Amino acid sequence: MKLATYLKDGAPRVGIVSGDAIADSGFDGTMIDAIARWDDLKPGFEQASRGTGTPLSSVTLCAPVPRPGKIWAIGLNYADHIAESNMAKPERQVWFTKAQTSVNGPYDPILIARNAPFVDYEVELVAVIGKRCKHVSAADAPGVVFGYCVGNDVTERMWQHAGPQWSLGKSFDTHAPTGPWITTADEAGDPHGLGIRCTVNGETRQESNTRHLIFDIWQQIEHLSGAMTLEPGALIFTGTPSGVGAAMDPRQFLKAGDIVRCEIDGLGAIEATMAAEG
């Protein structure tokens, strides 16, 4: 099943996407509420999905989880990206956070801040946590994932490398677009064999497959949950492959008017026009 947050009469609603249409779920809570209560709600959602839908082209899609409690992202998790970054392969997982206010809709403009012009793209598979959990083993990790969506770990490179912590450079407003919906884990299947790509103005910049993750998603969840409680709706950005603008010669940072498209096989695509901050 594919679940989206969309605007209906100006208010966010949880809907079910089927083909080119979206049907209202009939549920009055948020996406996080739906995820937390999924075992009870799933039959009603399945019934609602068989109802009359509205064309996707006529609605506004929001970020599937508009206010996630936690956003964690792993760095240096594809060997080719490590090589182009001229960094050593990490022996341990490297993590940083992205702020809640960086969340952005799947088709909303991405802002280039006035004081931060070196903006880059990073297409990533995003795992959405489905159950409150801690100290989850890698073997049990599939059972706590609700589903997956496409993400862009937009990064301001000057701020990222101004100090040893990356989170500021990763947390500018609008710099965590996700979507276009959540594909539930049972429909997505194995998340470690999905084609992943990013284009800028139609030019392919990144193209890889999630089978090349150094630390797979189950290892990531085991590591994170060893430190903290993960809750329904938490987002995990699982790493980006090579091809980022900062590694090109000459370096190619995003500018106003550029169109960035991130796509993962079976999960859909998000697309944004870059815009200068007003």
- CA 58 to chain CA centroid, nearest Å: 23
> What residues make up the domain containing 110?
71-276
Residue 173 in domain: yes
Per residue in 93-102, pLDDT tens? 999 999 999 9
- SS3 label, residue 62: coil
Q: Are residues 158 and 80 in the same domain?
A: yes
Residue 88 has pLDDT above 90, yes or no: no
Give yes or no for a contact between 136 and 222, defined as CB atoms under 8 angstroms apart: yes
Mean pLDDT (whole number) for 247-263: 97
- Number of domains, the chain: 2
Q: Are residues 141 and 216 in the same domain?
A: yes
Residue 74 has pLDDT above 90, yes or no: yes
Residue 201 in domain: yes
Last residue of a domain, one of 36, 58, 80: 58
Q: Are residues 21 and 86 in the same domain?
A: no
Sign of CA dihedral 202, 204, 208, 214: negative
pTM of the model: 0.97
Residue 65 in domain: no
Q: Are residues 97 and 167 in the same domain?
A: yes
Q: Are residues 7 and 120 in the same domain?
A: no
Q: In whole angstroms, give the CA distance from residue 108 to residue 263.
A: 16
Q: Tokens 């947050």 belong to which residue?
A: 5
Q: Are residues 6 and 88 in the same domain?
A: no
- Check which CATH number belongs to the domain holding 262 and give it: 3.90.850.10
SS3 content of the chain, % helix, strand, coil (to 5): 20, 35, 40
Q: Are residues 48 and 95 in the same domain?
A: no
Pairs from 224-227 (Cβ < 8 Å, separation ≥ 24): 224/72, 224/95, 225/133, 225/134, 225/135, 225/136, 225/144, 226/134, 226/135
- Written in H, E and C, the secondary structure of 179-197 is EEEEEEHHHHCCCCCCEEE
Query: DSSP character for 90?
Result: P
Phi, psi at 166, each rounded to 5°: -90, -10
Residue 172 has pLDDT above 90, yes or no: yes
Q: Are residues 48 and 81 in the same domain?
A: no
Give yes or no for a contact between 229 and 106, defined as CB atoms under 8 angstroms apart: no
Residue 184 in domain: yes
